[in-house]
Structure 1
Amino acid sequence: MQQQEYVSVTEFCIGHSISTTVINQLNEFGLVSIIERSDSSYIPMEELPMAEKALRLHTDLNINLEGVEVITRLLERIEEANEEMRRLKNKLSLYE
């Protein structure tokens, strides 16, 4: 079993000059998962790209968190559709 690595929410927030409230709100919207351990909160390493993307949408583009959630879900659906299209093209190429 592979050990999972984490980044402290406090360190992440200091590095991005934001309040921990923003990360907690991203967690409430289901955009980022937070792990609670020994009186500290942590973000799994594989969640960092999503956390940074959501944070950029929220802070740089001034999009509210509801909008960030919608945008994120739509991007996920587009990626799933693209993956399905790739699979179907590969199947089609077998019959050509």
Structure 2
Amino acid sequence: MATVNLISADEVCIHHQLETTFIHDLEHEGLIHISIVDKKTFIPADELPRLEKMIHLYRDLDINVPGIASIDHLLQQVDALHSELWALRNRLRLYEGE
């Protein structure tokens, strides 16, 4: 398997001074996806911005992994509601023009 779009979890942990268990805990909660290649853990590159937000919550705000999972769930709900609001506004504009 090619590791072109994968980032080593060890490198991320070293860069952010984290234990690798943090990455595995996030994966266990379903917050990130990891790939195992040749017995090494990798993170898809497109998940890195999301992972860095979670690291910020963990390190800077002292929020544990279950708390991060709750925050992530709430943010997903807010995004869904925001999308629904825009869709409803667009539909309303159709009727305002009549």
TM-score by length of 1: 0.91
Q: Which amino acid aligns with 2:77?
A: R
Partner of 1:95: 95
Percent identity over the alignment is: 38
Unaligned runs of 5+ in 2: none
Q: CA RMSD for the aligned pairs?
A: 1.4
SS in 2 for 1:18: coil
- Residue 46 of structure 1 pairs with residue 46 of structure 2: yes
Partner of 1:64: 64
Unaligned runs of 5+ in 1: none
SS in 2 for 1:51: helix
Q: CA–CA distance in 2 between the matches of 1:22 and 1:72?
A: 16
Give the greater-gyration-radius structure (CA).
Answer: 2
Number of residue-to-residue matches in the alignment: 94
Partner of 2:78: 78
Q: Which amino acid aligns with 1:69?
A: A
TM-score by length of 2: 0.89
